[in-house]
Structure 1
Amino acid sequence: MSPNLLLIFVLGPPAAGKGTLCGSLTGQYAVQHMSVGDVLRKVATNNNHPSINQKLEKQELINAEELLPILKDKLSEAGLKDPERRVMLIDGFPRSKAQGEAFEAQYLAAPQLVQLFRCDKEVARKRYLDRKRGKDDDAMFEKRYHEYEIESEAIESAYGKRGLVLEVQVDTEILESWDNLQNLLAQDQRWKSLFVR
């Protein structure tokens, strides 16, 4: 992994709008964006990791041993591809406290900030079903959301104790959520310090 990259983890329930808002941030700031979900879907398309394919099919959590080498490669590529954009938004990671701990232990890289997107369950459900991605249905949403609820408390607690969490309400219309995110970032010293050289 590129030692020059500064990492921000972007967390939230399925269909909270992580990818959309991260995409907007890349247009406004000198940041890069990596969606872990998109990375894994490309891995599945290439069919290089059969066990990952099976877990994706069932929307199961992928363990750190399988996931981290893939992320490391992608982060290394990103650091080389656009060295001027040193801040990397990693959306959808970690999905468990164990994933985050393993990442820091193996790569000696900790997040500078953790953006925690808060979204009402029914709003997230509607967005999830409206995007019509693959085999996504109401039952799969319930499975994913339940998993998020189980894992999120430990993740939030761990990063909260380190003073890394920025909570953002994102269950409004996308433009309002975007304004809310920008206003919070404009006041956040942790965020602003990432762009001072």
Structure 2
Amino acid sequence: MAFRMPLRWRLAGRISSRKSASSSLPSATSVLRQQRRAYSSKPPKSGPSGSIKFWPFAAIVGLGSLGYIGLINRRKDMPTTKPTAAPTAAPTAAPTAGQLPAPAKSTPTFSSDDVTVIFVLGGPGAGKGTQCSKLVAEHGFTHLSAGDLLRAEQERPGSQFGDLIRDYIKNGLIVPMEVTVQLLENAMTEALRKSGSSKGRFLIDGFPRKMDQAHKFEETVCPAKLVLFYDCPEETMEARLLERGKTSGRADDNAESIRKRFRTFVETSMPVVKYYEEVGKAVKIDATAKPDQVFQKTQKTLADRLGANF
């Protein structure tokens, strides 16, 4: 027979267990007090390890943006260039009647063993042309005047250099070297062709007027054997040119052009004379005397330097 607990005992046990459970739970009042304390107090501060700082990232982004904008602006300012193909050498065409290309040779056209070249220098009005004419008449030289060749070229119909030469001469300036050198070479070639011989003697009057002309001519046409320098005071030369201008019809035989030519000669041509004096090729001749007296000095100079039969 099973044992049954009396009713009063069971009731007493239930009441006891409810009291113990209720005593272990917090009361509503205590819970409410805790919540009030939680809302009224400040939140706890996070430690240094938990904080995230955004200003370094912002600085990096800002600097990068500024650098990119600067690069774009620099590229806008830079000129745009297109790749070009390597230059190819153009074929050299034969000179036509209106073309005077500068010689592009590495060796002279004429040998100094066959061709004698004498440069005749002096200021405008020094008497270079007069002395050359006498040497042609008495000793068989071929006289080439750079000035006469240039004037003839400027008047030649169809010349592409006519206007250029005219402007340079009128202003007392030196015509570009390439034109003058080619004209002289053409004239020498034509003179030898007419003579039927490869040998010749040339007096080149009024050339070279600059050092680059001298080097260009000797490198591409023929080395010079001698330089005759006719020295004369400026006042004497000016008087001669003004007198000649009355009948010559030359546009540069006027006072203004004459003075420009004097300045050009002193500044550009005298260094040529000094250079040839230093290398022992130039001879100075006093040109203030009468033409016949100057010619006697010229003949003696040539005999001393080139031999009695020069």
2:262 paired with 1:145? yes
Q: How far apart, in 1, do the equivalents of 2:117 and 2:145 lie? A: 13
Aligned to 2:206: 92
1:148-195 CA distance string (max 9 Å, x none)? 011133202221122101111111111221222223333x1x322884
TM-score (norm 2): 0.58
* Amino acid in structure 1 at the alignment position of 2:265: Y
Q: How far apart, in 1, do the equivalents of 2:261 and 2:309 lie? A: 32
Larger Rg: 2
1:123-163 CA distance string (max 9 Å, x none)? 11111111113232111111001110111332022211221
What are the within-5 Å matches in structure 2 for residues 1-197 of structure 1? 1-3=109-111, 4-47=114-157, 48=159, 49=161, 50-82=163-195, 83=197, 86-107=200-221, 109-132=222-245, 133=248, 134-135=250-251, 136-186=253-303, 188=304, 190-192=305-307, 195=310
State the number of aligned residues. Answer: 192
Q: How far apart, in 2, do the equivalents of 1:194 and 1:63 lie? A: 36
**How many percent identity over aligned positions?**
28
* Amino acid in structure 2 at the alignment position of 1:191: L
> Greater relative contact order: 1 or 2 (C-alpha under 8 angstroms, separation 6 or more)?
1
* Amino acid in structure 2 at the alignment position of 1:95: R
Give RMSD over aligned pairs. 1.9
Worse-superposed segment, 111-120 or 42-51: 42-51
Structure with a larger share of its residues in strand:
1
Q: 1:194 to 1:179 in 2, by over 3 A?
A: closer
Q: How far apart, in 2, do the equivalents of 1:78 and 1:59 lie? A: 29
* Contact 1:9-1:115 at 8 Å conserved across structures: yes
Q: 1:5 to 1:171 in 2, by over 3 A?
A: same
Provide structure 2 residue ranges, at least 5 long, that are not aligned to the other structure.
Answer: 1-108
* Contact 2:144-2:184 at 8 Å conserved across structures: no
Q: 1:106 to 1:194 in 2, by over 3 A?
A: farther
* Contact 1:114-1:165 at 8 Å conserved across structures: yes
SS in 2 for 1:131: helix
Provide structure 1 residue ranges, at least 5 long, that are not aligned to the other structure.
Answer: none
